[in-house]
A and B are shown apart, each in its own frame.
Chain A
Amino acid sequence: MPNHRFTFVPHPITGASAEVCRKYLEGNDPVTGKPVLQEIIDALTVPLSSEDKKTGFIERPTPRLVEPDTVDNLHRLFLEKGWTDGLPVVLPTEARVAEMLKGTSHETDEEVGRMQPSSPHELWSYTVEKVAVNAVMAGAKPEYFPVILALASTGVTSLSTSTTSFATMVVVNGPVRNEIKMNSGIGALGPFSHANAVIGRTWTLMSINLSASGKAGETYMGSQGNNYNYNNLCFAENEEELPQGWNPLHVQKGFKPEESTVSVFLGWGFTHPDQSMEKTFHPQIPFWLKFVSPFSSTTLLLDPTIIHQMKYHEGIDSKEQLIEWIHQNTKVRVGDWLDDYYAVQNFVLPMGEMGQEPIASWMKLPKDAEIPQFSSPSRITVISLGGGTNFFWQAGDFSYMMSASVDNWR
């Protein structure tokens, strides 16, 4: 809204000293070039214009088609308009989009969902046809389309804006994994599967185009950015290697084994623990999870070799048993929790000050007391992934957000 009375000061503000703050305030707005203090006083005292008093609605229709042009010019246009991820795209011609739409029985004009760059932003809506357009651009095949529609139906952007630089992850479960040849084995997180690569990429193109996410400096403020955003850690869970009692993710979330789903996660990154193979595995996990903020959740990507080791040699009979054990045994000192974590101070402690439990009680504990690093077992996810070439795993700070049915979009 151009008429709204905003005044900007330079970045960063976080932790700025009184001297720096005064310099910002006595300086100029970096956006308008005008003195900050004068803009503040004007915002308070300058009478409203007739434009400021207007009511009603401003419609912003999106044209269905782009003006006809040559292939080269259209590629240039898509790049210049910011409709891509910076890599070459497949132009969404009428024929290609029509072919993509054969991948679902749904009507082209059906609304699939609504998406926004973050909760304060406006929600854009999109139809089956618009999702197909972005799927074509990413290089998807029609058989991937129900998975992509399910992903779009979550309404979760892959370019969530924050001054931190979020990453997202999508895990595919159920029969569709094998129908479209998704990789859950050797190199599942690498560039070795067309379906993994392209479905993940489509998520980012959809986020850019269907929700206005990812406009750096406007709707995306991640200071460093995140390379995972190119295809968003898109993979299938290795269900075939799960031993009895260890349920796939979608079954844990209430779906039937024969159903196909997508599950989406939000976090920042993964690390590769340098775990001793001379010791039992699960007791070493709390040590390696120290890097995760107590504000966050954690997701473990366990190679099937590790899962089999835990099942057959360490007495861990299910994911739930492992999760409960991690919850009980991964702790943080109250003093560290109170003093050392930006996100805890920003988002957790204010809730405790409002009386939310168990945060309020934890804040009253002695500084050397210990509390669970992850506030509930639901903040811990375990996924089977990898080709069994060795006993390795990855640990990340990803939070489970939601799952959606793929079958509903066939």
Chain B
Amino acid sequence: MKIKIIAWALIIFVITIGLAFTTVSQAQAPKITVFNPLGQPPAIERVPMASRISDLEGKTIYIVDIGFSATHQLLTELQDVLEERYPDTTWIVRNKIGTYFNDDPKLWAEIEEKGHGMIMGVGH
């Protein structure tokens, strides 16, 4: 029994000393200076958002598909569900010209002239 107690005491002593050494060595580990590897992001230009409509009653809202492949169904379904819930609003689905890398000034001009708002579907 005595031998067992001494053995346990020795084990606890060794562990305690080990932990103490680890703590001391971590505390004493030298600090070094290194470079930040990140490049320089550009300043963000804050562009005010377009003004909002107060309600949807009698308004025309365009739903624009930018052409992300095989996703047109989502936007026609969006048109359907919005027509069901907001029947007094005109919901128009339009495809932007070209791929999703091409601009479509004619469509933007049409929306500005005839629309009150736009929802754009962007594949990601």
Interface residues of A (CB under 8 A from B): 1, 3-5, 9, 13-18, 21-22, 24-26, 37, 40-41, 43-48, 52-66, 68-72, 74, 78, 83, 91-94, 97, 115, 119, 122-126, 129-130, 133-134, 137, 163, 205, 209-212, 221, 342, 345-347, 350-351, 353-354
Contact = CB atoms under 8 A, between A and B. Distances in A.
Interface string B28-48: 011111111111111111111
Interface in B47-90: 47-49, 51-56, 61, 67-71, 73-74, 76-78, 80-82, 85-86
A57 B43 contact: yes
Contacts of A54: 46, 48
B42 A16 contact: no
Given A25-B77, A209-B39, A46 B52 contact: yes
Nearest to B75: A21
B44 A57 contact: yes
Given A71-B29, A93-B32, A130 B39 contact: yes
Nearest first, the 8 A-B pairs at minimum CB distance are A210-B39, A346-B69, A126-B39, A21-B77, A57-B43, A68-B31, A124-B39, A70-B29
A124 to B, nearest CB: 4
A249 B13 CA distance: 69
Contacts of B73: 16-18, 21
Contacts, number: 191
11 contacts: A3-B49, A4-B49, A14-B68, A14-B71, A26-B81, A40-B78, A63-B36, A70-B29, A70-B31, A93-B32, A115-B39
Nearest to A60: B41
Contacts of B52: 44-48
A45 B53 contact: yes
A57 B48 contact: no
Given A40-B78, A62-B39, A163-B124, 19 more contacts: A14-B69, A21-B73, A37-B82, A45-B52, A45-B56, A54-B46, A57-B43, A57-B45, A58-B43, A60-B44, A70-B31, A71-B32, A93-B34, A94-B33, A115-B39, A125-B39, A210-B39, A350-B67, A350-B98
Central interface residue in B35, B39, B42, B69, by most chain A CB within 10 Å = B39
Nearest to A208: B37
Given A13-B68, A40-B119, A122 B41 contact: yes
Given A68-B31, A346-B68, A354-B97, A209 B74 contact: no
Contacts of B80: 22
A209 B38 contact: yes
Interface in B1-48: 26, 29-48
Contacts of B74: 9, 13, 16, 21, 24-25
A130 B117 CA distance: 44
Nearest to A70: B29
Interface residues of B, number: 53
Contacts of B41: 60, 62, 122, 124, 212
Contact of A1 (B44, B102, B117): B44
Contact of A124 (B42, B46, B54): B42
Contacts of B123: 13-14, 163
Contacts of B99: 346-347, 350-351
B18 to A, nearest CB: 18
Interface in B91-106: 97-99, 101-102
Contacts of A205: 37
Given A44-B117, A346-B67, A83 B38 contact: yes
A61 to B, nearest CB: 8
Contacts of A122: 41-42
Nearest to A205: B37
Nearest to A344: B69
B34 A65 contact: yes
Given A71-B29, A350-B98, A126 B40 contact: yes
Nearest to B121: A13
Contact of A62 (B40, B55, B101, B124): B40
A353 B97 CA distance: 9
A72 B32 CA distance: 10
B28 to A, nearest CB: 10
